[in-house]
Amino acid sequence: MTPDERRRLARVLSRLADASVSEVLRLPQSGDGHCRRIGVTGPPGAGKSTLISRLARRRLTGEGDLAILVIDPTSPISGGAILGDRIRMEELENEERIYIRSLASRESRDGLADNLPDILAALQSFGFSEVLIETVGAGQVAHAIRALVDTLLLVLHPGAGDQIQAMKSGILELADIYVIAKADQPGAKELVAELRSVRKERSVAGAGWRPPIVLSSHGEDESMQKLAAEIDRHQAWTTVSERWEDARVLWRAQHVESLLSRRVGEVLRALPRDALKQPIDELYRAVLRELADPGAM
């Protein structure tokens, strides 16, 4: 990528992140090519950023470039954000084939960022062959990432043993690969045992994919090699045609859902300041007016 192209990419991503729902709906859509999308989620402090920085070089084997999106929470009070995850990715700083971009979650309540599906499509059109996406540190709620990626990694650390219960009906059922980071710490063995039992319950449900458990102490080469191989194995599994169609439908549904839920916020903010104090029929009329006229149709 030339410096000019890279600068243009950065600006395109900013415009997409800032776009309103109706702006997104009117964007020209590019072709349906494919770029591998790998999600990395897990509770705060699990070691997601460090893992990505170690894994990224391993994933950089083929021809194409690699993009990394790191999402951090927006402060609900100021609307600002500290985007600090790339500090832990400094070993990638001289790698010209890797593009790292930090995103604030903004209006998004699902551990992702506004217009993420369109941002991913843009990366694809710029020729990236693979994107790694780090979600906001989360466990229970962040299911949206499942629909937007081909392969979902759940990163846990031995100290998070008590969080497993809370995640059982949730991200644990959705992840494709479990990664135990900081596996040299006490409790790793117990965590493996718990994950195995979770996995057994899953296979009864007939998902058809048995999530491997990969242990990594400090992202050492051997474990990253294994993880990269498991990702390839899952990619091969998921691109089987009928599963691929299912995944595409899920992706589309999530894309539309995220736009619609943002629209809710836009409508709320666009209501006249005193609308919520008016009688209910007045409020309904104000909502109807705003729904009919998103101000940009």
CA dist 212 and 237 (Å) reads: 13
Kindly state whether residue 63 participates in binding other proteins, applying the rule CB under 8 A. Answer: no
Interface with other proteins in residues 186-225 (CB under 8 A): none
- Decide: residue 237, CB within 10 A, 0-12 exposed, 13-18 middle, 19+ buried: middle
- Least distance from other proteins to the Cβ atom of residue 7, Å: 4
Question: How many residues belong to the site for other proteins (CB under 8 A)?
Answer: 28
Kindly state whether residue 76 participates in binding other proteins, applying the rule CB under 8 A. Answer: no
45, HSE (Cβ side, Cα atoms, 13 Å): 4
Q: Which is nearer to other proteins, 66 or 153 (CB)?
A: 66
Tell me how crowded residue 157 is: count the other CB atoms within 10 A of its CB.
21
In the stretch 3-42, what mask flags binding to other proteins with x, by CB under 8 A?
A: xx-xx--xx-xx---x------------------------
CA dist 185 and 210 (Å) reads: 25
Angle at the Cα of 5 (from 53 to 9), degrees rounded to 5? 60
Kindly state whether residue 165 participates in binding other proteins, applying the rule CB under 8 A. Answer: no
Interface residue with other proteins among 76, 87, 208, 273 (CB under 8 A) is 87
Give the interface segment with other proteins, choosing from 98-106, 150-158, 181-189, 281-289 (CB under 8 A). 98-106
Interface residue with other proteins among 44, 45, 62, 84 (CB under 8 A) is 84
Tokens of 185: 């710490």
- For residues 72 and 85, the answer to whether their CB atoms sit within 8 Å is yes
* Identity of the residue numbered 57: R
Kindly state whether residue 287 participates in binding other proteins, applying the rule CB under 8 A. Answer: no
Contacts of 87 (CB under 8 A, 6+ apart): 49
Q: What is the chain's Cα-based Rg? A: 20
- For residues 96 and 88, the answer to whether their CB atoms sit within 8 Å is no
Kindly state whether residue 90 participates in binding other proteins, applying the rule CB under 8 A. Answer: yes
Q: Which is nearer to other proteins, 87 or 297 (CB)?
A: 87
Interface residue with other proteins among 33, 45, 79, 272 (CB under 8 A) is 79
Interface residue with other proteins among 37, 48, 59, 101 (CB under 8 A) is 101
Give the interface segment with other proteins, choosing from 93-101, 204-212, 218-226, 232-240 (CB under 8 A). 93-101
Q: Which is it for the CA torsion 176, 212, 95, 87, positive or negative?
A: positive
Q: Which is nearer to other proteins, 90 or 281 (CB)?
A: 90
Binding site for other proteins (CB under 8 A): 3-4, 6-7, 10-11, 13-14, 18, 74-75, 77-84, 86-87, 90, 93, 99-102, 104
